[in-house]
Chains A and B, each alone.
Chain A
Amino acid sequence: MPETFAATIAIELSEMCFAWRDGLEPVLKIAHLQINKGERVFIAGPSGGGKSTLLSLVAGVVVPQRGTIKVNGCRLNGLQGAARDRFRADNIGYIYQMFNLIPYLSVVENVTLPCRFSARRRERASARSSGYTNEALRLLNHLGMGEAPVIDKPVTELSVGQQQRVAAARALIGTPEILVADEPTSALDTNRREAFIELLFNECDRQDTTIVFVSHDTGLEPLFDRTIRLSDINTKWNKSC
């Protein structure tokens, strides 16, 4: 029973407390948070409420002072820095609010960037489309970016919506278990937001990817399986860690 139970959990935080530096006031203090595999979770909260910090913790960029973070059954705060980096490269796709792309790389190079750092994602992407470049093209195509003139443009000349779709393709290449999106739609106008999220969901369904989506825009809530209000679970005012 615990075996199967564990296998369905994507992210699990328990008795977790994080401050940017020891001795500083904690930013996040979460007694328990569980996100299941394949779940689409919307994390709502005001700006500066620690949403991005939570994502950094889940991505293993920072480690909490206390408590544990388990992602895919792996205890992140037990890993060394390099191992966490490898873990992130293998398991997590990340989309930023805006300016997601490396300006000097082409669209396809931007999408295949994770394959440079993760052998696992490179292999998975290659296996799926006979070569990871093909997989990048396939993903771009699915996200409505397949046409040659768009792909051949320098990324700096793409519209914000196009840039976000390229970023989504990059986050999804090599089927990472978890997609972490930090307000990816905030630079898009309203009707484009839903279209973008739908494209994202379509692709995630194919890959059975867990989505952790952070936004202050509660209008998007209904599209998700579940909403977590950060203010409900964060008990940071209990002063120190």
Chain B
Amino acid sequence: MLTLAVKSLKNRKFTTALTIAAIALSVTLLLGVERIRKEAKASFTKTISGTDLIVGARTGPVQLLLYSVFRIGNATNNISWESYQEMSQNPNVKWTIPISLGDSHRGYRVMGTNADYFKHFLFAGGRRLEMAKGRIFDGVFDAVLGADVARALGYRLEDAIIIAHGAGQVSFVKHDDKPFTVVGILRKTGTPVDQTVHVRLEGIEAIHIDWQDGAPLPGQSISRQQVLNMDLTPKTITAFLVGLKSRIAVFGVQRFVNQYPQEPLLAILPGVALQELWHLVGVAEKALLAVSGFVVVVGLAGMLIALMTSLNERRREMAILRSVGARPYHVFALIVGESALLTVMGVAIGIGLLYALLVISQPLILAKFGIFIEISAISLYELWLIVIVCLAGIVIGLIPGYRIYRYSLADGMTIRI
């Protein structure tokens, strides 16, 4: 019966090809969305790694994560330099990376930090920041650009950039008396680092030295030269990342930070906060999967339509088969077999298409978005999706199958056109 089904499908090459194409594309979309979903989640959780705790002023964990790692939103409060110093002296602490936010350059966030950032900051399961061009900052007015910043704004080494006060896209208050010089450009990471301008904490301090309460003090301008001779130790920072000597200490240190008597602080575990955040954005991703699920339904509906419309013209074929001894269930099996074949072929081609697309797009996506899409085997979950699609195809085939079964019982060998 299967060879008959194959030959019958071959006979209707055009509709067969269209049906298979529809199923294949819908399966590619379904699995593709599932892959993107997984990769997006993976790359989301890859934005930071190797950091045991993030410490900021007391706020919500997700908010702290958003502004310290994703550069979204603003801190409501800062941490005093003294608290930071004390924390970094803690015997369990291996390293710390101070972060000072609040300024921006043409919509990109400016982050004040120190050289430890380039030494200790890890992402994507242990990748280190690398310089594409130039070097890390050294002088007070040196700036290291993220890959996107440099590309979008067309900056090269030695270009001068002016930092604006505040984090908005358009700012009317600029630190134009103290321009910075681009000394380095980072390689693409696929994380918010790409959209960050990195300067030294002292640089942040320097541009605000003649400011008070978020505005320049009138008549008290201190020149770029003068400021270099002043004490530029920051008074506050926004947050800091902590690496511990032993991960076992993480809860102890967290408790210590959260109960710090001098200042209300919050320490979060980045992994936990990322999960929490993913739950928030995960709704969109589930909606996307649902949409691609519907596309599969449409693809299978197309197959149902193709089979149903072919039934009437095939009643003669069925009568002939009956006359040579086919039983009604043979006729039923022929149609169900056809739909099963269509589905399985569609699914197989869809999977092939997915991998072809992955192979082609992998280098492009890496170059453009810095996301490394792993070409992995079919996961168990994907296998489930595939099995469900195949079963759905066979179940859908039961409808025309039952119909032709009824026809062949009623028609017998009488040919009705």
State whether B412 touches A56 (Cβ < 8 A): yes
A129-159 CB mask vs B (1 if < 8 Å, else 0) is: 0000000000000000000000000000000
Instruction: Let me know if B325 and A62 touch, CB within 8 A.
Output: no
| 8 A Cβ contacts from A142-182 to B | 170
15 contacts between A and B (CB under 8 A): A52-B414, A56-B412, A61-B413, A85-B325, A85-B328, A86-B327, A96-B319, A96-B320, A96-B323, A99-B316, A102-B317, A104-B8, A114-B325, A117-B326, A118-B325
**Within A92-120, which residues are at the interface with B (CB < 8 Å)?**
94, 96-97, 99-105, 109, 113-114, 116-118
Taking the complex as formed, is B322 at the interface, i.e. its CB lies under 8 A from any CB of chain A? Answer: yes
Kindly state the separation between the CA atoms of A59 and B322 in the bound complex, as whole angstroms. Answer: 10
B325–A89 CB distance below 8 A: yes
A89-B326, A118-B325 known, 12 other contacts, Cβ within 8 Å = A59-B323, A85-B328, A89-B325, A90-B325, A102-B320, A102-B321, A103-B11, A104-B10, A105-B7, A113-B321, A117-B325, A170-B324
Which residue on chain B has the smallest CB distance to residue A87? B325
Give the one of A55, A61, A100, A114 with max B CB within 10 A. Answer: A61
Interface bracket on B: 20 to 34
Q: Name the one of B11, B325, B414 contacting A86, with C-beta atoms under 8 angstroms.
A: B325
Q: Does A73 belong to the interface (CB within 8 Å)?
A: no
Q: At the interface, yes or no: A1 with Cβ under 8 Å from chain B?
A: no
A117/B324 in contact, CB under 8 A: yes
Q: Which residues of B contact A117 (CB under 8 A)?
A: 324-327, 330
CA distance A186 to B79 in the complex (A): 101
Interface of B (DSSP majority class): helix
Determine whether the beta carbon of B325 is less than 8 Å from that of A88: yes
Inter-chain contact B11/A104, CB cutoff 8 Å:
yes
Size category of the binding interface on chain A: 20 to 34
B305 at the interface (CB under 8 A from A): no
Q: Given the complex, which residues of B lie within 8 Å of A102, measured CB to CB?
A: 317, 320-321
Q: How many Å from the CB of B16 to the closest CB on chain A? A: 11
Contacts of B7 in A (CB 8 A): 104-105, 109
Q: Are A94 and B413 CB-contacts (below 8 A) given A81-B328, A105-B7, A117-B326?
A: yes
Q: Name the B residues within 8 Å of A88 (CB-CB).
A: 323, 325
Q: A61-B412, A104-B8, A104-B11 are in contact. Are A94 and B330 (CB under 8 A)?
A: no
Given A101-B320, A105-B7, the answer on whether A59 and B413 have CB atoms closer than 8 Å is yes
In angstroms, Cα B411 to Cα A59, docked, is 13
Q: Which residues of B contact A114 (CB under 8 A)?
A: 324-325
Chain B nearest CB: distance from A100 CB in Å? Answer: 6
A70 → chain B closest CB, angstroms? 19
> In angstroms, how far is the closest chain B Cβ from the Cβ of A177?
14
Measuring CB to CB, which residues of chain B are less than 8 angstroms from any residue of chain A? 4, 7-8, 10-11, 316-317, 319-328, 330, 412-415
Tell me, rounded to whole Å, the shortest Cβ–Cβ distance linking A189 to chain B: 22
In the assembled complex, the CB of A180 is this many whole angstroms from the nearest CB of chain B, namely 9
Give the docked Cα–Cα distance between A109 and B415 (Å): 21
Q: Shortest CB–CB separation between residue B134 and chain A, in angstroms?
A: 69
**Chain A: which residue is nearest B414 at the CB level?**
A52
A81 to B321, CA, bound (A): 15
A11 to B322, CA, bound (A): 20
Does B320 lie within 8 Å of A62, measured CB to CB?
A: no
Closest residue to B412 on the A side, CB-wise? A61
List of A residues within 8 angstroms of B320 by Cβ: 96, 100-102
- A90 contacts across to B, CB distance below 8 A: 325
Residues of B within 8 Å of A86, CB to CB, are 325, 327
Closest chain A CB from B315 CB (angstroms): 11
Taking the closest CB of chain A, its distance from the CB of B337, in whole angstroms, is 14
- Across the interface, name the chain A residue whose C-beta is closest to B11: A104
Q: How far is the CA of A102 from the CA of B11 in the complex (A)?
A: 10
**A117→B324 CA distance, assembly (Å):** 7
Query: What's the least CB distance linking A69 to chain B, in Å?
Result: 14
Top 5 closest pairs, chain A to chain B, by CB: A89-B325, A104-B11, A117-B325, A61-B412, A94-B323
- By beta carbon, the residue of chain B nearest A180 is B323
Q: Which residues of A contact B10 (CB under 8 A)?
A: 104
CB contact under 8 A between A96 and B415, given known A102-B317, A105-B7: yes
Complex Cα gap A8–B61 (Å): 97
With A96-B415, A103-B11 known to touch, is A61 a contact of B322 (CB < 8 Å)?
yes
Please name all residues of chain B whose beta carbon is closer than 8 Å to the beta carbon of A85 when the two chains form the complex.
Answer: 322, 325-328
Q: When chains A and B are docked, how far (Å) is the Cα of A235 from the Cα of B284?
A: 74
Q: CA of A220 to CA of B11 in the docked complex: distance in angstroms? A: 37
Which residue among B7, B11, B320, B324 has the maximum number of chain A CB atoms within 10 Å of its CB? B324
* Complex Cα–Cα for A32 and B321 (A): 30
List residues of chain B with CB within 8 A of the CB of A96: 319-320, 323, 415
